[in-house]
């Protein structure tokens, strides 16, 4: 080939490359304006583009807005299995009980949460939403919400810096955004707003919190005299504890373990740390599939329940060498330590079902003498110099939300509870709630349950006047005193 032809061809190649670069730059520019990046840019955190372009208040920030159609289908599927929250939306949309409410949301962002977000909007609220977990966001659902006009700041695989940036986008007051309600899962939005936007925090009418960790932080604030607004402890409401914590975990723990590890459970030995409602659900599922199940507990009442349910109650050190699966469900910190993991058998699977990522001491595993090997999404092998390896799920974060999906029906119960708690705090007379932490009124728990009964064609028995008088109850409830243990 002559040098002239080569020169011409090189020039054409350069022209084509310039064209491709211009096209890529144009696409990147459009995405940057809306704070979205493609899946091909996994190494780039979407918020970096907003910061680089000097956008102080982007409308949303998601991984890839082009996934919105797929996300919308996910939301539509979830709606079919969430009858309670859909019924609440239909009943209350005309009354608009959340009119002018401006809600900061910080929860897991998935198809089920999207149904809640769209319900709150239908009831009159404006929302800005961030994720409470860096691994649990469904990118396509976040895209669908952003495409529908919601201020969503979340993507799967956020960095620590991006995590707080996203929450701050929701909490920061602006000329057009003055938040007056918080729906939290873990207490991070409450913590950031109190610390960084203390003046705006005083204008919050109420906080709704749904996790053990977040509730614990609220009670600490209350005890220290720093909680200047009323808060609703949804986590300990009957409809959250007895349904989401128990039934959801009973189904999703198996799904999470099978999807991530392909485990067969028959004959495996497992230990569940904590026998609260989450622990109970996990144990029921493992036992049903033929696992040998051990329990660790600090509470003698829960320990007695475990023993009478047929489980051996042990100290973790007593069984750590022989078990195949370790599951934490305590809400505490330092439950599984480096010392425990040193003694585990080769191939032991370790995961967390409690909210906080502090239950497994993952930080102690990030040392030069251990090799981390990513084998699947949210599945790491931690390899010792001897060749022994343990399987760690979701880097110690919530296994069911990071490695699988949740049963939509049970989430409908929780979502309806959250919505009612927001409505109650937002509309309550000024004197009804002081700056303290409250449980959801019993009547609301019963109402949430009643919204879901038609799905099962369940028919409630009605009290006669004589029966109601005998029991000292109102015929329409509430039917149990606050101290009743379901």
Annotated binding site for NAD(+): 276-281, 297, 400
Residue ranges of E strands in 409-460: 437-439
- SS3 state at 328: strand
- SS3 state at 271: strand
The answer to whether the beta carbons of residues 211 and 236 sit under 8 Å apart is no
Cα separation values, 406 from 5, 129, 265, 355, Å: 62, 20, 20, 14
Cα separation values, 247 from 92, 126, 259, 338, 420, Å: 27, 31, 19, 31, 21
Taking Cα atoms as reference points, which of 107, 22, 69, 133 lies closest to residue 403?
Answer: 133
Enumerate the known binding-site residues: 276-281, 297, 400
The DSSP H or E segment spanning 181 is strand 181-184
The tokens 């991984």 sit on which residue? 63
Angle among Cα 230, 239, 327 to the nearest 5 degrees reads 100
Taking Cα atoms as reference points, which of 82, 179, 52, 187 lies closest to residue 132?
Answer: 187
Judged on CB neighbours under 10 Å (0-12, 13-18, 19+), 238 is buried
């Amino acid at each position: 080939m002559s040098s002239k032809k080569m020169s011409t061809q090189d020039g054409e190649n350069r022209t084509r490359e310039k064209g491709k670069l211009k096209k890529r730059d144009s696409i990147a520019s459009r995405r940057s304006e809306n704070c979205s990046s493609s899946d091909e840019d996994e190494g780039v955190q979407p918020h970096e583009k907003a910061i680089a372009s000097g956008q102080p208040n982007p409308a949303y920030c998601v991984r890839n807005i082009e996934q919105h159609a797929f996300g919308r289908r996910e939301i539509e599927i979830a709606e079919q299995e969430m009858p309670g929250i859909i019924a609440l939306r239909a009943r209350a949309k005309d009354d608009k009980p959340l009119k002018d409410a401006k809600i900061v949301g910080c929860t897991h962002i998935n198809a089920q949460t999207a149904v809640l977000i769209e319900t709150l909007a239908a009831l009159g609220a404006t929302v800005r939403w961030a994720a409470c977990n860096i691994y649990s966001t469904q990118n396509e659902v976040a895209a669908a919400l952003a495409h529908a006009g919601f201020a969503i700041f979340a993507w799967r695989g956020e960095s620590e810096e991006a995590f707080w940036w996203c929450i701050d986008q929701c909490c920061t007051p602006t000329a057009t955004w003055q938040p007056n309600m918080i729906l939290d899962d873990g207490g991070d939005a409450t913590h950031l707003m109190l610390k960084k936007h203390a003046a705006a925090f005083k204008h919050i009418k109420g906080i709704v919190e749904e996790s053990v960790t977040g509730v614990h932080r609220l009670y600490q604030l209350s005890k220290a005299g720093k909680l200047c607004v009323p808060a609703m402890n949804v986590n300990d409401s009957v409809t959250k504890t007895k349904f989401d914590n128990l039934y959801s975990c009973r189904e999703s723990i198996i799904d999470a373990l099978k999807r991530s590890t392909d485990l067969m459970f028959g004959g495996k030995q497992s230990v569940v740390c904590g026998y609260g409602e989450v622990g109970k659900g996990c144990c029921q599922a493992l036992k049903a599939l033929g696992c040998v199940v051990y329990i660790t507990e600090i509470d003698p009442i829960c320990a007695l329940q475990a023993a009478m349910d047929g489980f051996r109650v042990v100290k973790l050190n007593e069984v750590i060498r022989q078990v195949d699966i370790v599951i934490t469900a305590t809400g505490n910190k330092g439950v599984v330590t480096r010392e425990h993991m040193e003694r585990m058998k080769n191939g032991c699977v370790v995961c967390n079902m409690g909210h906080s990522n502090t239950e497994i001491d993952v930080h102690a595993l990030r040392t030069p003498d251990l090799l981390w090997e990513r084998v699947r999404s949210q599945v790491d092998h931690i390899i010792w110099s001897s060749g022994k390896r343990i399987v760690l799920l979701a880097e110690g974060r919530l296994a069911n939300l990071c490695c699988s999906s949740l049963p939509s029906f049970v989430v409908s119960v929780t979502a309806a509870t959250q919505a009612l708690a927001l409505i109650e705090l937002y509309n309550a007379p000024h004197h009804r709630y002081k700056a303290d932490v409250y449980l959801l009124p019993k009547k609301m728990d019963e109402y949430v349950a009643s919204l879901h009964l038609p799905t099962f064609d369940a028919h409630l028995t009605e009290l006669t006047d004589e029966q109601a008088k005998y029991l000292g109850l109102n015929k329409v409830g509430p039917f149990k005193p606050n101290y009743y243990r379901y």
